[in-house]
């Protein structure tokens, strides 16, 4: 296991962390991220082919290479959140958080009593397979587990103040593509309407002392997000990064 400081701790210190969404079912692809300097990977089970067995293996690889594995579950579902955390993921990203109760449901599923009601098994990978007889397991998990919620539509933006009232949320993730769709300009993530909505939300969250995350399609957009105060920057996807790298080489040599 890597001794690198967790991204949760680094975000609390005000640092910026960077990592891609991952849809390629390859341990080698995850392994290279640690050597590249990336801080985390988002194993995406909402979009793409990754299943539970695959992400279990990818979480193990990520742990070994010093990259925090985050699992994006397909929906705000207690069972899906529980399984992602029991295999040892650093945290979960949960889509379509639109009202306060949505955020409450995430915390309840991801945290043990007295914070939430996550189902308890100390015989899982998260519980180190009972090697320590479960000592302090619930406290350790409550402290280290990250909860990241997607605010990705006008309804979520309109209810941001109430969503931020929920304790136990580590990162408010602004989804630019779904926000663009909800504003009637799907895919136009650099349009002024989207940029303004993102800035207002980021300023509001930062003003309330909350950490903000978002997605950048390229480095230029990533720098813009960083200037907005976004600390958790998801940059592109592994498949697209690989494709673009290959495309650049092919164009240069043909």
Angle at CA of residue 154, ends 148 and 157, nearest 5°? 50
Query: What would the mean pLDDT of 88-101 be, rounded to a whole number?
Result: 96
Cβ-proximal residues to 53 (8 Å cutoff; 6+ apart), any chain: none
Cis peptide before 114 (omega within 30 of 0): yes
Report all structural domains of the chain as residue ranges with CATH numbers, in order of start.
Answer: 7-253 (3.20.20.60)
Share of the chain above pLDDT 70, in %: 98
- Percent of the chain past pLDDT 90, that is, above it, reads 85
Torsion sign over Cα 120, 123, 128, 131: positive
Residue ranges of E strands in 85-188: 91-94, 146-151, 171-174
Which of helix, strand or coil describes residue 21?
strand
Taking 90 as the threshold, does the pLDDT of residue 129 lie above it? no
Question: With 60 as the cut, is the pLDDT of residue 182 above it?
Answer: yes
Phi, psi of 111 (to 5 degrees): -120, 145
Give the pLDDT band of residue 1 (cuts 50, 70, 90).
very low
Cα 97–100–104 angle (5° rounding)?
85
- Work out the mean pLDDT of the chain and round it to a whole number: 93
For residue 30, what pLDDT band results from cuts at 50, 70 and 90? Answer: very high
Q: Hunting for tokens 């392994």 — which residue is that?
A: 31
Tell me the C-alpha distance between 161 and 158, whole Å: 8
**What confidence score (pLDDT) does residue 2 get?**
52
Look at residue 157 in the predicted model and tell me its pLDDT: 95
Give the pLDDT confidence score for residue 20 in this predicted structure: 98
**Looking at residue 130, what is its pLDDT?**
74
Cα-Cα-Cα-Cα dihedral sign, residues 219, 222, 226, 228: positive
Tokens of 8: 């949760």
Neighbouring CB atoms inside 10 A of 176's CB total 23
pLDDT digits (tens, 9 = 90+) for 211-228: 999 999 999 999 999 999
Mean pLDDT across the stretch 123-139? 79
3-state SS assignment for residue 101: helix
For 32-52, how does the pLDDT look when each residue is reduced to its tens digit (9 = 90+)?
Answer: 998 999 999 999 999 989 999
Q: Can you tell me the mean pLDDT for 95-116?
A: 96
Q: How far apart are CA 156 and CA 97, in angstroms?
A: 6
With bands split at pLDDT 50, 70 and 90, how would you rate the model's confidence at 133? confident
Per-residue confidence band for 3, with pLDDT thresholds at 50, 70 and 90:
low
Distances (CA, A) of 147 to 29, 93, 129, 194, 254: 24, 6, 23, 25, 46
Q: What is the pTM of this model?
A: 0.93
């Amino acid at each position: 296991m890597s001794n690198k400081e967790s991204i949760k701790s680094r975000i609390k210190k005000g640092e910026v962390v960077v990592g891609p969404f991952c849809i390629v079912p390859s341990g080698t692809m995850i392994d290279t991220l640690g050597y590249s300097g990336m801080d985390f990977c988002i194993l995406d089970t909402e979009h793409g082919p990754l299943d539970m067995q695959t992400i279990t293996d990818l979480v193990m690889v990520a742990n070994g290479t010093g990259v925090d594995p985050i699992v994006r579950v397909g929906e705000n579902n207690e069972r899906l959140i529980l399984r992602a955390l029991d295999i040892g993921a650093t945290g979960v990203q949960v889509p379509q958080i639109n009202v306060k109760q949505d955020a409450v449901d995430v915390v309840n599923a991801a945290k043990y009593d007295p914070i939430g009601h996550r189902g308890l098994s100390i015989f899982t990978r998260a519980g180190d397979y009972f090697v320590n007889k479960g000592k302090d397991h619930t406290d350790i998990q409550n402290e280290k587990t990250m909860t990241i919620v997607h605010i990705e539509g006008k309804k979520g933006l309109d209810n941001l103040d109430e969503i931020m009232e929920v304790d136990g949320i580590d990162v408010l993730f602004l989804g630019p593509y779904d926000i663009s769709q909800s504003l009637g300009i799907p895919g136009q993530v650099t349009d002024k309407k989207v940029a303004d909505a993102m800035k207002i939300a980021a300023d509001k969250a930062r003003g309330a002392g909350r950490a903000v995350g978002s997605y950048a399609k390229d480095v230029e957009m990533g720098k813009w997000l960083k200037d907005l105060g976004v600390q958790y920057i998801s940059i592109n996807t592994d498949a697209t990064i690989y494709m673009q790298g290959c495309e650049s080489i092919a164009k240069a040599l043909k």
